[in-house]
Each structure stands twice: as C-alpha cells, then as structure tokens.
Structure 1
Amino acid sequence: MQTKPKYILVFLVVTFITSLTSYAPLHAQDDKFVVVLDAGHGGGDSGNVGNGHSEKNIALKVTLEVGKALEKNPDIKVIYTRKTDVFVELYERANIANKADADLFVSIHCNAHNSQASGTETFVLGEKNTARNFDVAKRENEVIFLEDNYEENYAGFDPSSPESTIAIGIEQEVYVEQSIILARKIEDNFIGKAKRKSRGLKQASLLVIRNTYMPSVLVEVGFLTNKREGAYLNTKSGQSKMAASIKDAIIAYKKELDLNVGNHIVGSENEAITANSSETMIYEGVTFKVQIAASYKELEAKSYNFKGLSDITRQKEGNMYKYFSGKTSDYNKIKKLQSTAKSNGYSDAFIIAIKAGEKIDLDQVLKSTPKAKTASKSKTASN
C-alpha cells in the first residue's frame, strides 16, 4: 500500500514535465509572423469562368503554393481560409484572420473584363474608386448574395451603391500604409520576377478586407477573360511563377520590418508648399511631425535607434508602432527636419499634421493661411 503514493507522485511529476514541454512550442509559435492566405471564391461560388477557366480552382492552387513555400520558413505561421473547394463567407474570412491575430492578410483572385484586358492588379482598401475600380469591387462584393443572412451580416450593405462602398474603409485605415508597401512589392515582383504585365496598385472598397485588423491586400493575378493570360494562369508553370512572386514579396516585407523599422513608408505625395528658410510658417493649433518609420517592433524612442535624428516620439496604432522626428507648428521647420531625415537614410520620410490630438489631412492644412513672419533683416543696408 505504501507504494501507491509513490506511483501517484511519479505520475504527477511526469505530467508536469510533459505539460512544460508541450507548452514550449505553443508559446514559441506565438512569436511567429502570422500570414493568413485567402483563396477567393470556392464551393458554389465559382468566381469568373473566363474562357472556360475556373477562378476558384486557380486561386486555390496559387494560394496553396504560396503557403507551402512560406511554411518552409520557421519564423512564419500560415493559416488558410480554405484549403479545399468549399464556400467561405466574406465576413468569416476576415474573422479567421482577426482571431489568429495575423500580421498579414492576402486574398488571391483572378480578374475578368468584357474586353481582352490583361495584367495583374493588387488592391488595398480605399475610397479612391475610379469607375473601373468600382466595377472590380462590385463584382467581388456581390458574392454576399450567396450567403445566408447577408443583410444581417453586412448591415444592409449594397454592392451596387457607391455610397455603401465609400463607408467601409474605417477599420482598415490605420493599416493602409503597410498594405500599400506589401502591394507594391507584389506588383514589382510580378514585373521583375514573373515577367508579367502589371496594371499597378489600386484602391477599392472590398468587403473581404474591410474588417481585417492587419495590413491586407487583394491580388488579381491576371485576367481569365484574356485568352493568352487565362491559358497561362491555367498552367502549373504560370501558377508557380505567380505564387513565387507573392511569396517573395511577403518575405521581403517581413525582412524590412525585422531589419530596422522600414524606410519605405507611404506618405503625402502632394506637399505643395516649398519651405523658405527666411520665413516661419506657423499654423496655429496644428502640430507637424516627420514620420520616419513603422514597425511591429517596439524600440526605445531614442536618437541612437534612428540614425541620430532628434526629438523622437513613438505611437502605437493597432499592432504597429510608428516613429516620428520633430514636433512643431512651423511648416518650414518641419520641412527642414524632413530633409534631414531623408539625408540620413529615411528616403520616404513624410510629414503628418495633428490637431486636437487627431491626425488630419496635410493637404487641407496647407490650403489654409499660415501665420507667416519674414525673418529679420539687417537695418544697416545702404541707400
């Protein structure tokens, strides 16, 4: 009878050790870079069938190949919204990514048009819908009509209404900058590595990425309605080249975040006013900063972490940390600080404007009248 407590003690020790060893890999996995891959359409939703090709099947094959390649990287965890020919609701695709606390969401599709249009396109969420972009958004969003209770799930959203599509970008707004960085890398790879025609980076109001809380893109790998492009995408070779381009872009995006805090940041492309060193240009109530970096890494807001730049501040938005240099209401002064940041290697550093604690549109600020004061000049000038 005395041996029974010993057996119990041994069992408890073994159980405790087993629990520690099983917990370790799970904990380590939490530190991985999580990529959710979404193969468009599926099941009863075939997508487009240009020239007899199947979008749902081609999208799935490309997606699985991207995932297979990414899974070879021990620092990356891949999650799929579907791995077989099944129908997944648009809102559920976003839920999968959010529940996984993913770092990236990549949705893969094939394009269609009533002409022989060709080329790749990568979309990020935005309100800048051209007529063509709205057509793409309308086609992709109309999938909701295949879902049960779509009116409840999408709060009366109407894919045919431009007004509805304008209103859906709020959740993704904080991640648009990083989404654009990834989208550009994907399109650059389509051109440089896959040797395909690119139609560029686009913005459209797409339901599948509206509720994801991480950088998200929708990739159109080409037009099935184009005879040559459709045939190419229906081949193993074509699918492999497109998959490799997407995979390499994701790897490059991750490395850029890991190495430092990324220099390639998207900012205002229309900073119309040129700074004049002889003047101050004070915009009362407005604070200007230079955004120099964005990263998932939390760094000390110290000069030595940012190549000697001064007055560093840090702000967390979602899972992302943004880093700034400078803080002033003088637009000319912030332009000088932007120039300094660029000369120190932050080539895409850009200016942001803040009012009452909220980020506001820089272009709108610059359209208002500043309180300008010309610097004092010498009074000894001769007559």
Structure 2
Amino acid sequence: MQTHIFKLIVSFIIVLTFNSFQSANAQTDNDKFIVVLDAGHGGKDPGKHTKTGLNEKDIALKVVLGIGKILEKDNDIKVVYTRKTDVFVDLFKRGKIANDANADLFVSIHCNAHNSQASGSETYVLGLHRNKTNFDVAKAENEVIFLEDNHEENYSGYDPNSPESFIGLSLMQEEFLDQSIELASLIQKDFTNKLKRKNRGVKQAGFIVLHQTVMPSVLIETGFVTNSKEGKYLNSKKGQSELSKSISNAILTFKKKLDDNVGKLVVEETIVDTISTDDNTIKNTVFKIQIAASSKALEPKAYNFKGLKEVSREKSGKLYKYYYGYTSDYNKAQKLQIQAKNKGYKDAYIVAYKEGKQIKLSEALKTEDK
C-alpha cells in the first residue's frame, strides 16, 4: 500500500514538473522571433508554368519548406507557414495569417517568367511601380485574386490592371519600408556573392500580398522558369536547397542585426539637475514625449519614426514604449509634443520622470509650484 502511494506521489510530481516545463516553454515561445514563410500560388493556381512541366507553385513550396527546416533549428525562431501543401490560399488570408501570428517578418517566395531568355533574381518591397516592368511583375502576381471567391468584396473593387489602384498601397507599410529594404538587400547580396546568381536588384511594386501585412515584408522572385538553364536549376533539388540556404542566411543575418540593437538607446538615460536655464526648467525632473507602444522591438532610429530623431525605447512588461525628446524644460517638452503630432503621432503625450522613476505629469508640475 505504501509503495502504491509512493508511486502516485512520484507520478504527481512528474506531472507537475512536466506541466511547469510546458508552461515555461509556452512563455518562451512568446519571445521568439516569428517568421512567416509564404509559398506563392498553390492548388488551382499554378503560377508561372512552362510547357515542359515546370510550375511556380511547386518550386516555391519546396524552397519554403527548405527555408523552414533550416530556421526551425534555431530555438529563438518560430516559423509559421501560409501553406505546407499544394493548396490554394487567398492573398488576403496570407497576410492575415502573418498579422494574427504577430510576425516579425513576412517572406513570400515566387518565380518569374518572360517571353525571352531573361534570367536572374530580384527581391521586392511594397511601393509604387518605378517602371512598366515592375508593374507587369506585380500585375501578374496580383491577378490571382480573380480565382478567389468574393474578390470584389475582399479587395474593395481593386483592379490589378490599373496603375491607379496602387496609389495608396504603400502607405500602410511605410514605417517598415527601411527594414524591408534591409532584408531584401541581404537576400540579393547572398544570392549574388554566394550563389553567383544574376542580380536584378531590390525593387518596389504594389504586391497585394505585401500590402496585407503589418511587418517588414519582402517578395522574392527566385528566378525565371522560362529560362532554359535557370528553369532547370529552379526545378532541381540542388537549386532549391541552395536558394533555401541563401534566403535563410539572409534572414538570420537580419535577425542578428536586430538582436544586436536590443537594449541600446539613442538618448542617454540619465537624470541631471538642470538641462536648461529657462524659467520652466524643473530640477531633478525629465520630460519625454511618448509616441508609441508596441510588442515589437523597433530600432529607435529616425527612419522607423517618421524622421524623428532622439527616440528612445524602454520595455514595460511585454510592451516596448517609444519616447521622443529628453528635457527638463516643460516649455520645450510642449514644443516637442507639437512636433511629434505634426509628424503624425496624434496621440503623443508628455510623460515625466523624477530621479529615474516615472511620475504623474500633474505631480511634476506641482513640484515646480512649490
């Protein structure tokens, strides 16, 4: 009987330990770098294809699965797929998958095609078309919406054949543009330097699938299935493996650059007795303008904050708070608040710190009245 009770107690301890371990893992997952991998086309939509039997949907899926296999070896990364099999996924759903996952990156894999022997790789970020070629590439990828049910409702009358339809596409992604370009550049650099691929550059165009996301996002045209030599390479295990490894390397390099920046502030966080000699200077108190709060650890640089300089970042619980400016002069703080609002941060407000701790603004001003 005692042996039986002892076994029950041991079993109970094991269960508790296992549950605690699972709980710890779940908490760790929340802090992981989330990458959404999107294999273009699929199912009833073959994408670019040739008479010899090359299908963009198949090549894109194999490259994506290869990227995922590499990235999943990193314990700090969580990979989410928009599809892992040969199924059709609406464009707007692909973006929703990324947004719902609270992703840090969105990477969409495609293949190109042309009526000539054009070759090489190019990586796109969201933006207006700089020329007809970019428009044609985006148009070809976007026309898949006609295969979707209720596309008129889902895309509000959007017409892939009209350049005017792209005018507002880049606005939502504007704050992530620099990071998207950074990742795109790393991808093209790896393709060129390590795989000796023809570099067609980093370009901007109005891809709907990029427009649907709210994170740094790129669309990679890995090569031309219509080029006799390149098509064979894209369809080979060797080619797909090399492309997967190259893209993974670029993603890991991008992540490392972000990791190296965590915890660094542009403005030195120290309290000084007096910063200004104006009448509204308050001793031992600092004012800053809170402009944003997010679960994302954005680099506190001007290109991420609509040109505002002197941006600092602090972590509060699971959120990162972003502040503009640093002064002991309340008059100057009010001017900084106006500057932030003029840049588009309409809800920007003044926060006060005394001896390194945040206090109510009214308390800071009362201190001055004494």
- Paired position in structure 2 for 1:65: 66
CA contact (8 A) 2:291 2:340 kept: no
- Paired position in structure 2 for 1:103: 104
Q: CA deviation at 1:244?
A: 1.1
Q: CA deviation at 1:170?
A: 2.1
CA distance, structure 1, for counterparts of residue 133 and residue 243 of structure 2: 23
Q: CA deviation at 1:115?
A: 1.6
SS of 1:239's equivalent? helix
- Pair 1:87–1:24, CA change in 2 (3 A): same
CA distance, structure 2, for counterparts of residue 94 and residue 239 of structure 1: 24
Q: CA deviation at 1:63?
A: 0.7
Q: CA deviation at 1:303?
A: 3.3
Code of the residue aligned with 1:247 in structure 2: it is S
SS of 2:253's equivalent? helix
- Paired position in structure 1 for 2:341: 357
Query: Which of 272, 284, 298 pairs up with 1:321?
Result: 298
Alignment of 1:204-353 (within 5 A): 204-259=205-260, 261=261, 297=262, 299-303=264-268, 316=292, 319-324=296-301
Alignment of 1:152-171 (within 5 A): 152-171=153-172
SS of 2:166's equivalent? helix
Code of the residue aligned with 2:37 in structure 1: it is L
- Paired position in structure 1 for 2:95: 94
Q: Give unpaired runs (5+ residues) of structure 1.
A: 1-6, 262-296, 306-311, 326-333, 338-353, 361-383
For each residue in 1:299-350, what CA deviation from the matched residue of structure 2 results, as whole angstroms up to 9, or x when unmatched? Answer: 4454389xxxxxx99965752434358xxxxxxxx9xx9xxxxxxxxxxxxx
Code of the residue aligned with 1:45 in structure 2: it is D
Code of the residue aligned with 1:190 in structure 2: it is F
CA contact (8 A) 2:124 2:203 kept: yes
Alignment of 1:142-221 (within 5 A): 142-221=143-222
CA distance, structure 2, for counterparts of residue 324 and residue 99 of structure 1: 26
- Paired position in structure 2 for 1:25: 25
TM-score by length of 2: 0.71
Alignment of 1:72-91 (within 5 A): 72-91=73-92
For each residue in 1:247-269, what CA deviation from the matched residue of structure 2 results, as whole angstroms up to 9, or x when unmatched? Answer: 0000000011112x2xxxxxxxx
Instruction: Tell me if 1:39 matches 2:46.
Output: no
Q: CA deviation at 1:43?
A: 0.3
Code of the residue aligned with 1:65 in structure 2: it is G
- Pair 1:317–1:39, CA change in 2 (3 A): farther
Code of the residue aligned with 1:48 in structure 2: it is K
- Paired position in structure 2 for 1:50: 50
Code of the residue aligned with 2:300 in structure 1: it is Y
SS of 1:191's equivalent? helix
Code of the residue aligned with 1:323 in structure 2: it is P
CA contact (8 A) 1:51 1:227 kept: no
CA contact (8 A) 1:298 1:321 kept: no
SS of 2:300's equivalent? strand
For each residue in 1:252-292, what CA deviation from the matched residue of structure 2 results, as whole angstroms up to 9, or x when unmatched? Answer: 00011112x2xxxxxxxxxxxxxxxxxxxxxxxxxxxxxxx
Q: CA deviation at 1:298?
A: 5.1
Length, aligned pairs only: 290
For each residue in 1:8-44, what CA deviation from the matched residue of structure 2 results, as whole angstroms up to 9, or x when unmatched? Answer: 9999887665543321111111111111100000000
CA distance, structure 2, for counterparts of residue 233 and residue 14 of structure 1: 50
Alignment identity in percent?
Answer: 52
- Pair 1:31–1:116, CA change in 2 (3 A): same
SS of 1:36's equivalent? strand
Q: CA deviation at 1:167?
A: 1.6
TM-score by length of 1: 0.69
CA distance, structure 1, for counterparts of residue 290 and residue 251 of structure 2: 25
* Farther-moved stretch of structure 1 (131-140 vs 17-26): 17-26
